[in-house]
Amino acid sequence: MIIVNVSVVRMTLKTDIWDLVIVDTDEGIRGWGEITGSLCIEGVAAILDSMKDYLIGKNPVHRYECLQLFHQWRYPKISDLRTYSSALSGLDQALWDLYAKHLGIPLYQLYGAAGVQSIPLYANLNKALRGDRRESLLAEHGKEAVELGFEIVKCTPFDEITPENSTLEFDNSIKKMDALVSAVDISHVAIDCHQRFNRFSLSQMLTRVLDRYGIPYWVEDTIAINDYTVQEQISGSFPMFRFAAGEDAVSIYQIEKTVRSHGYDVIMPDVKYIGGPSVVLPLIGYVEGIGKQLSLHNPNGLVATAHSAHLSAISRQKIPMEFPFMAVPDRASLAFPSEIIRDGSYYFTESPGIGVEISKEALMEYGKTITCGSWERIGV
């Protein structure tokens, strides 16, 4: 088996966008990776295009040889750029997928999780509500998620707050929280702050949440990720809360700071940016080994969800993994075989690799590939 092509594909769906890396081989087997949220898909495509001549003709099973160009020393240093790390992450995902397909086994079994049948998910409510932020709809989606078996839901009620306008009243945010908590107990609600607070406003918010509702499941991305001193002070003042972060890390060096900080309890790497499965695999053992918890950041498409689920299978703690609830209503029809989401869990099959493939019909209808800087309809 040798590589014959590496392509970057953008799928523009009705309610979302998925960016993919596809590695094709001479045997007709495809490896899939996802890089949605790279911040510059054209840049990722240019990076991979510059390496295409090196990759074509190589055996994708020889993963380290294929990734060699990414790990060469460079000055100025570019490995901490999100675009560069996304290119590496997408290619690494696709190569792991191909390796498992070459062996004829599911990826989670290759990772050492044979016997695991499923992993728990939590429902990200934000993705489906970006166009309609009514609190009644938030409560409706939260209730529906719980009825479908998701034990935990995640909301983003503080979108009007920024570090610059931190004196803004929380009234609108509290209305959203009131609505959601009327349908879902606060202990089953995670709150994502998208780094919108500073020390003063965060203390106010946490106090108000605690007094009004009680203790949420966790509080995520409270302040700027590099402000570890303030976060550790906040964590010390509110020891009853669990704090989560790590989704923006693009290297093991960056996320190691978050892991070692006393301010964070739950670490949330993203397989699309941090370097792919090759980085996440040892990170899971490291994080759990020092007594912290890990939950992969995953608000995106079928491919990233599959990779993240297979990685999560090796976790000993079974903290639920993120799932973009109702973000793409026809999601199940876009792949064959498709993912199995049932009773708030992701179920594995015996299909080799990640176990899902974006269908040819979906690629033809929604997909475009970039060639020499121009987007063109994809030819499957």
Identify whether residues 160 and 294 lie together within a single domain.
yes
Contact 243, 217 (CB under 8 A): no
* pLDDT band, residue 71 (cuts 50/70/90): confident
Is residue 352 in a domain? no
More confident residue, 270 or 374: 270
Identify whether residues 184 and 306 lie together within a single domain.
yes
CATH code assigned at 181: 3.20.20.120
Identify whether residues 312 and 222 lie together within a single domain.
yes
Is residue 36 in a domain? yes
Q: Among 151, 137, 158, 146, which residue's Cα sits nearest to residue 209?
A: 158
Identify whether residues 16 and 81 lie together within a single domain.
yes
Is residue 183 in a domain? yes
Identify whether residues 72 and 221 lie together within a single domain.
no
Structural domain range at position 12 = 3-109+358-377
Identify whether residues 138 and 251 lie together within a single domain.
yes
Contact 311, 274 (CB under 8 A): no
Identify whether residues 335 and 265 lie together within a single domain.
yes
pLDDT for position 165: 77
**SS3 category, 93:** helix
Per-residue pLDDT of 342-354, as tens digits, reads 999 999 999 999 9
Per-residue pLDDT of 207-222, as tens digits, reads 999 999 999 999 999 9
Is residue 90 in a domain? yes
Contact 25, 3 (CB under 8 A): yes
- Total-model pTM: 0.97
Q: Report the range of poorest mean pLDDT among 15-24, 131-140, 167-176, 193-202.
A: 167-176
Identify whether residues 40 and 79 lie together within a single domain.
yes
CATH code assigned at 75: 3.30.390.10
Tally of domains in the chain: 2
| Helices then strands, each counted (H, E), the chain | 13, 15
Residues 6+ away with beta carbon under 8 Å from 209: 177, 191, 216
Is residue 235 in a domain? yes
Strand 118-124 to 17-25 pairing: unpaired
Identify whether residues 147 and 213 lie together within a single domain.
yes
Q: Can you give the three-state secondary structure of 222-245, one letter per residue?
A: CCCCCCHHHHHHHHHHCCCCCEEE
Identify whether residues 15 and 145 lie together within a single domain.
no
Identify whether residues 85 and 231 lie together within a single domain.
no
User: Both tokens of residue 129?
Assistant: 């509500």
What is the DSSP track for 1-33?
--EEEEEEEEEE-SS-EEEEEEEEETTS-EEEE
In angstroms, the CA 109 to CA 113 distance is: 5
Q: Where are the beta strands (DSSP E) in 125-265?
A: 153-155, 189-192, 219-220, 243-245
Is residue 353 in a domain? no
